[in-house]
Structure 1
Amino acid sequence: MTAALSRPNLEVAHRGWLTVAIMLATIMQVLDTTIANVALPHMTASLGASQEEITWVLTSYIVASAIATPLTGWLVDRLGARLLFLIAIAGFTGSSLLCGIATGLEEMVLFRVMQGLFGAVLSPLAQSTILDINPRERMGQAMAVYGAGIMLGPIVGPTLGGWLTEDFGWRYVFLVNLPIGIMALLGVAAFMPRTPTRTRRFDFFGFAMLGLAIGALQLMLDRGQAVGWLGSPETWIYIGLSISGLWVFIVHCLTADEPFIDLRMFADRNFSMGLLFIFVIGLTLFSGLALLPPLLQNLLGYPVITTGIAMAPRGIGTMLSMIVVGRLMGKVDPRLLVTFGMALTIGAFWMMTGYDTMMDVWPIVWSGVMQGFGLGFVFVPFSTLTFATLSAKYRSDGTSMFALVRNVGSGLGISIVTSVLARMIATNHEELASRLGADSQAVHQLVPGLLQGNLTVAAQVDGLVTQQAAMIAYVDNFLLMLIFTACALPIVFLLRVNTDKAAAPSLPPSEH
């Protein structure tokens, strides 16, 4: 017998309240991927860490979460979804409290590892649970609820983190999880039924190889910019470990009797194409979000609160689209909905390539609303299509792989845009400065003090050149994200719309 939440149509007495509890836990976990970023400078002095050392507060969480995510399916089978939820929520909430009272860097890194380990299962477990407690005709609305939590977390995180850090102190970035975690824990305990378990051998070797591959990849992505990417032996060590671990893992799974991950689930075309697509969406969505706060604060001079207000309409657009797409699912070909959403997202990136240093807030607001509205149309129907034909017995493992690939894509995307931004700022600065020589008519007319060696004028001109070089670099990154998004569009039409009902049988009453 498979675990209940790897089976569809689990009957619950209070589906709405259970969904609220599940989404509270999910939002809490997703928020923590971004909420601590803005608090890092404030942690440095308090924890006695250097600028380079404090980044391990982020790295430790990301790596621990990535390694633990694939464990979700096995843990569901062995513990049951209800018990696993309770353990994960309690552990994440408790480790958040420990992070909030940490007194040194070593303690903080340890507690962030604990946060990552407990939180890793929350997102995939929430997705599989929501799929299982809703009948097929409500699947679109159910995915709309899940998608809202997944996509609003990264949008709200930096703003909430900045407000808490400025007004209450960096410790409240972690302590804010306590009331949310307690409510989620009580909700799951009260409304989620007990679920049966099954014996499943733990393939330690397979898990170790997959963990090695994922952990090394995440370390490379997080540390690459700081150590100089391919110019550093550290990067090549990570690359070698990641490739070796993945190769051994695949060979082992193909030959083992009970592998850690059953590779047969990748034979489902919808699922495989869904993983490829969500990788690209993770790459563009989170990297685009990572670019906006530094652009608004460092380049345009917006304070943290104003930055949050300027980015808030993006979340409003997402919420509106979730409501609309939930009602359209089942009535309109989901591939058309995804295509419409992709077109809006591409249009938003195109608007963002027109940003300049003299603009007001409205281009940011309108492009944000358009992108948020488009992403709602992308995430909900595509998540539904990805699992529409996947056998129910693979659902727990499938949702964990879905979350893992999305997180790897976001990590890669952030690394790409960070690296491109740094390199393009330097390149653009050099090119713009080369046009300010003694033979430039504009220099003679507008800034003659530059030719006379006036240091004040030279500093002012250099500041303007740096500002323009940075804006061009941001625009280049937005164009790159546009290209990535456009390249992913053909994947949509490789999916099958007609679901295989045999893949999602209903449980007979005796097994609920």
Structure 2
Amino acid sequence: MSAAAAAVPMPIDPSRVRHRGMITVSIMLATIMQALDTTIANVALPHMQGSLQASQDQITWVLTSYIVAAAIATPLTGWLCARWGRKQVFQIAVVGFTIASALCGMASTLWEIVLARLLQGVFGAALVPLSQAVLLDINPKEKVGQAMAIWGAGIMVGPILGPMLGGWLTETYDWRWVFYINLPVGVLAFYGIARYLPESRPKAERLDLFGFATLSLAVGLLQMFLDRGEQLDWFNSAEIRIEAVGSLLAFAFFAVHTWTARDSSFLNRALLRDRNFVIGGLFAFIVGMILYATMALLPTLLQGLLGYPVIYTGEVMAPRGIGTMLAMVLVGRLIHRIDVRAIMALGFTLTAVSLYQMTRLTLDMDSSLVIISGFIQGLGIGFTFVPLSAAAFSTLAPHLRNDGTPIFSLLRNIGSSVGISIVQALLTENTARAHAQLAAAITPYDAAVQNLPPLLNPQTPAGLAVLNLEINRQAAMIGYLGDFKLMMWLTLLSLPLLLLIRRPRQAPGADAGPPVDAPH
């Protein structure tokens, strides 16, 4: 049994919760603030790079430092809540995240913003799992589906609206407003949580320091391995070999410790005995891979290859958010009437269809296919994420939620980082391979080459340079299409796993346990 689980306060009785609407608004403001910061900085990176005088490789630490810190800090959420109370942890997380956002906006050097982003990740790690746990506790069983739809919509705001909002703020004001926008949101969220959220009864427990240290080391080294592998030619680099071996050893120590600890371990073993939670966590990992990898690829594809302006890129990607929000509304109404496995199957099928459409993209097309495929993928993600959360926690005992929600978020975060790293590495590799194949086909004896206009004549230095740029574009497009095809097959191959999910007999929260006093 984990230290966190042993001390987790008894769940809140939904029938005794007052101000449910204000609690929901307050915690969702914090959730949206955190979710936005996973992607809002992406489109602003070129502007940051120039302002902070950083190289292309260095500026990516603005993104990866946040993911690493959040992934490492997320599993601490349950223990922190057990020791100091969920309301207090929530308040500290909001305050810390808001202050870190201000520090990001004020940063004048690369290392200042990287350190500020690390702080953002540390404080922001608790916001998403805590918001999910609170919504599960304050809502009666007949409203859990709608509550998870609201929570899922908040989670989806980041990858959907982040690039568009970041592009608009960067273009209209300055890249620093990508972070300053969190300040008023953080203030409102803190006030709502302090005023309306019921406090849980904390109970001090010992932290499983060995379990936390080994898991943190495994996740941190894995992220370093994924981030730097392509730059250092993977296992030809001693650093990459050390990170790979270190991550495997740390995870092995964590796994052995978890299964053999007598008194307590960092991961509650009871979570692993719940099949729906385990399969749901696997799906969370897969959804994180597909969603965040796609969102990482599209802005560079649209801006770099198709030449779309930053703001127009956000506008073209906006229908994805419309599709997701529409699906969220429908799922909230259908989740108690239709088998969640059927809803998830529909979501994965729509996602696969959208990815197939993306494999048909070309360099000379208009934006219609991008808009249509984005809308369909938005529908697919919306039909997947909410029932996934409901199914994963449907058979989990209420007292395990504070342990389960951080692990669920951790798996999604790791999935996103793994997905982004894989598609970026494959994009580089496939682009180089396609460039070599296309260049090998160009010879002065080819009739097609002989009929090229003078501007593309490979016999002249200027023509050769222009021709090479065009080959680069074509090769890059082939690389992007290869990534979309890979994710399409991953989505289709995941469908049979739905059969392993048990249909819940009762909704989460049916057994709420002893009541906790509502605020006075």
Shift in alpha-carbon separation, 1:401–1:417, aligned structure 2, 3 A: same
User: Within 5 A, what are the aligned runs for 1:280-291?
Assistant: 280-291=286-297
Where do residues 397-476 of structure 1 align in structure 2 (5 Å cutoff)?
397-447=403-453, 453-476=459-482
- Sort the Cα spacing of 1:345 and 1:52 in 2 relative to 1 into closer, same or farther, 3 A: closer
Q: Is the 8 A contact 2:200 2:516 kept in 1?
A: no
**Contact 2:458–2:467 at 8 Å: present in 1 too?**
no
Judge conservation of contact 2:293–2:420 (CA < 8 Å) in 1: yes
Distance 1:510 1:419 in 2: 50
Q: How does 1:51-450 map to 2 (within 5 A)?
A: 51-256=56-261, 257-447=263-453
Q: Which deviations, in whole Å up to 9, do the C-alpha atoms of 1:256-283 show, x marking residues without a partner?
A: 2111111231111101111111111111
Quote the Cα distance in structure 2 between the aligned partners of 1:485 and 1:300: 26
Partner of 2:21: 16
Tell me the CA shift for residue 333 of structure 1: 0.9
Shift of 1:296: 0.5
Show CA shifts across 1:373-428 (max 9, x none): 11111111111000101122221111101100001001011011101111111111
- Report the Cα distance in structure 2 between the residues aligned to 1:59 and 1:502, rounded to whole angstroms: 34
Secondary structure in structure 2 of the residue aligned to 1:38? coil
- The Cα of 1:445 is off from its aligned counterpart by 3.2
Q: In structure 2, what residue type is equivalent to 1:326?
A: G
Q: Distance in 2 between matches of 1:498 and 1:194?
A: 29
- In the aligned structure 2, how far is the partner of 1:109 from the partner of 1:5? 38
Shift of 1:464: 2.1
| Paired residues of 2:258 and 2:265 also in contact (CA < 8 A) | yes
Query: Any idea what SS the aligned residue of 1:52 has?
Result: helix
Counterparts in 2 of 1:502 and 1:362: CA distance versus 1, 3 Å:
closer
Cα offset, 1:510, TM superposition: 6.4
Please state how far the C-alpha of 1:299 moved relative to its aligned partner. Answer: 0.3
Aligned length: 512
**What's 1:489 paired with?**
495
Question: 1:487, CA displacement in angstroms?
Answer: 1.2
Moved more, 300-309 or 128-137: 128-137
Residue pair 1:391, 1:504 contacting (<8 A) in 2 also: no
Is there any run of 5+ residues in structure 2 with no aligned partner, and where?
Answer: 1-5
Deviation at 1:16, TM superposition (A): 1.3
Q: Under a length normalisation based on structure 1, what TM-score does the superposition of the two structures give?
A: 0.96
Distance in 2, Cα, partners of 1:474 & 1:108: 30
Alpha-carbon distance in 1 for matches of 2:174, 2:161: 18
Deviations along 1:110-144, whole A, 9 cap, x unmatched? 22221111100001111111111111111111111
> Residues 241 and 5 (structure 1 numbering): CA distance in 2 closer, same or farther, change over 3 Å?
farther
- Structure 1 stretch displaced more, 437-446 or 192-201: 437-446
- Secondary structure at 1:27 match in 2: helix
Tell me if the contact between 2:171 and 2:311 (Cα under 8 Å) persists in the aligned partners.
no
Shift of 1:73: 0.7
Cα distance in 2, alignment partners of residues 190 and 102 from structure 1: 32
Call closer, same or farther: CA 1:234–1:313 in 2, change over 3 Å: same
**Is the 8 Å Cα contact of residues 90 and 127 (structure 2) preserved in structure 1?**
yes
Q: Which moved further from structure 2: 145-154 or 297-306?
A: 145-154
Quote the RMSD (CA, aligned, Å): 2.0
- For residues 11 and 408 of structure 1, the distance between their equivalents in structure 2, rounded to whole angstroms, comes to 37
1:200–1:2 Cα change, 3 Å: closer
Structure 1 unmatched runs, 5+: none
Q: Deviations over 1:344-396 (max 9, x none)?
A: 11110111111001110100000001000111111111110001011222211
The CA distance in 2 between the partners of 1:107 and 1:463, in whole Å, is: 36
| Counterpart position of 2:3 | none
CA, structure 1 residues 287+502, in 2 after alignment: closer, same or farther (shift >3 Å)? Answer: closer
Deviation at 1:449, TM superposition (A): 7.6
The structure-2 alpha-carbon separation of the partners of 1:140 and 1:123, relative to structure 1 and needing over 3 Å to count, comes to same
Query: Under a length normalisation based on structure 2, what TM-score does the superposition of the two structures give?
Result: 0.94
Instruction: Give the 3-state SS of the residue equivalent to 2:229 in structure 1.
Output: helix
Tell me the residue number matched to 2:43: 38
Q: Which amino acid aligns with 1:172?
A: W
Classify 1:131/1:431 alpha carbon distance in 2 versus 1 (closer, same or farther; 3 Å).
same
Determine helix, strand or coil for the equivalent of 1:132: helix
